[in-house]
Structure 1
């Protein structure tokens, strides 16, 4: 793989990872709403914060990219963007959530422009249009991130429900024993027996 192909693969991966991060974060919005007991108006006011801060930071991204260089700017802003996904989940009030989302939007604004600038640079060296493919990888990453985030949410809710409801835990154990009886030679059956033994200790 030559340098141009490596550059294209790297930028494609960055777009996909950014899409996945946004997709995963989107699945936490209902949880944040429930934790802070936000009504639709308050939630909408919070979610407009990233757009506001991104409008202010996007014009700065050109200077940041020129100062650091495209590769370093993309790397730095990817790290910062990942870090800004944490505070919104930890916010304990609407004002703190608003501030956290302002920081997230600011990082997103610079990261988006830096990524696209990197994509244009690779496209110029590649000699043909690749920007649409990069945006496609962002969409694929978003689908993957949202799917993974929703799966984690479902597992977390199930574990929490089993922890709070002993009857549901007993039902799960009985279902596991029934499945083990139907498929006695399978590896799944062995695992279910082990789980059953752990639950009955």
Structure 2
């Protein structure tokens, strides 16, 4: 049976979802590329920096859980309309913070917004994918990565110009808020997002067993992602001794290759299947982390971060897409559950890499996500789509 052509409303919702992913990528990279600068500004030790970084994923996990509960009743559009501008404002407040307590408060606000947006935007992405009837979710994540590259590029330019943190953050976040508010008017409404009339009641029957491999893969992915996002610029600064203009390209190179792979990711998934794509990605990510650990200079270090981006790029979108298949009623609960392990991975990644770095150094610390990236190869079998009857049973029983 041929796939029906998308309607103009489907295309409108897809465009709006692209915008939401773009703003989230820009917001995330704008703040995370300046971790080393914030550490210097507030005179934080590596232990203190680790604790500060842990605040964001812990609170983001709370935001994701709340998003899952609220989305099953009110839809994810309302969540995104409120919390995405909140996350943008939090970035500016982090730059303005004149003391550590104020910086912690800004991080709490950012974490709450981050969790709500991450869950909500993937709920919208899965809803659009369901309406299109084919794999499109990786394309949304591609634009997230492109926006993150733009954020890293802006950080590099701002660092070269000597701009203050508040000025750099505000310049990026002001247009981001405007884009977010405009896009929220076009997103899928609850009637379009929720397939079954009893979506709230079916939410409690989404199966955990089938979700576990997706959750673990998501966790291991974000241990690696957290090591790069939180400590990539620190690694470049303290181990490679990179300049202020080069250091942000640890994250920039990672996101650039992530974007490049995600652009064609949906086509690859349609041809080879999600399990094979995730398995290959795990293998390449393992090689990337090995290159980072062994890198003797700026060029090879950036190349290692780039290779890691190639491998990890496919795991998150395929985790969310597989979770959406396990929740045919469109409640968003399965997506929120998988998204929680995003932040668990960030917590483990920040604590693990930061702790090892404190007792040894950052080069040795980056060997930890290498091992977990290899575990994704084994977990890839859980991404294979189940027969339609098996997938729909939990929502109709």
TM-score normalised over the length of structure 1: 0.72
Query: Are residue 37 (structure 1) and residue 43 (structure 2) matched?
Result: yes
Give deviations 1:146-172, integer Å, cap 9, x for gaps: 1112212211259xxxxxxxxxxxxxx
> Which structure has the highest helix share of the two?
1
What residue is the counterpart of 1:85 in the other structure? 91
TM-score normalised over the length of structure 2: 0.38
Q: Residues 73 and 114 of structure 1 are in contact (CA less than 8 Å); yes or no, is this contact kept in structure 2?
A: yes
Q: Residues 123 and 129 of structure 1 are in contact (CA less than 8 Å); yes or no, is this contact kept in structure 2?
A: yes
Choose from 88, 95, 98 the match for 2:101.
95
Give deviations 1:112-155, integer Å, cap 9, x for gaps: 10101111111111111111111121111111111112212211
Extract unaligned runs of 5+ from structure 1. Answer: 159-201
What residue is the counterpart of 1:127 in the other structure? 133
Q: Residues 80 and 121 of structure 2 are in contact (CA less than 8 Å); yes or no, is this contact kept in structure 1?
A: yes
Match runs of 1:42-121 below 5 Å: 42-121=48-127
Instruction: State the alpha-carbon separation in 1 of the partners of residues 20 and 63 from structure 2.
Output: 20
Q: 1:67 to 1:153 in 2, by over 3 A?
A: farther
Q: In terms of Rg, which structure is larger?
A: 1
What residue is the counterpart of 1:22 in the other structure? 28
Q: 1:76 to 1:38 in 2, by over 3 A?
A: same
Q: After TM superposition, where is structure 1 displaced by more than 6 Å over at least 4 residues in a row?
A: none
Bigger mean CA offset, 43-52 vs 65-74: 65-74
CA RMSD for the aligned pairs? 1.9
Choose from 148, 151, 155 the match for 1:142.
148
Q: Residues 86 and 109 of structure 2 are in contact (CA less than 8 Å); yes or no, is this contact kept in structure 1?
A: no
Bigger mean CA offset, 143-152 vs 22-31: 22-31
Paired residue secondary structure (1:38): coil
Instruction: State the alpha-carbon separation in 2 of the partners of residues 83 and 36 from structure 1.
Output: 20
Instruction: State the alpha-carbon separation in 1 of the partners of residues 143 and 86 from structure 2.
Output: 21
What residue is the counterpart of 1:180 in the other structure? none
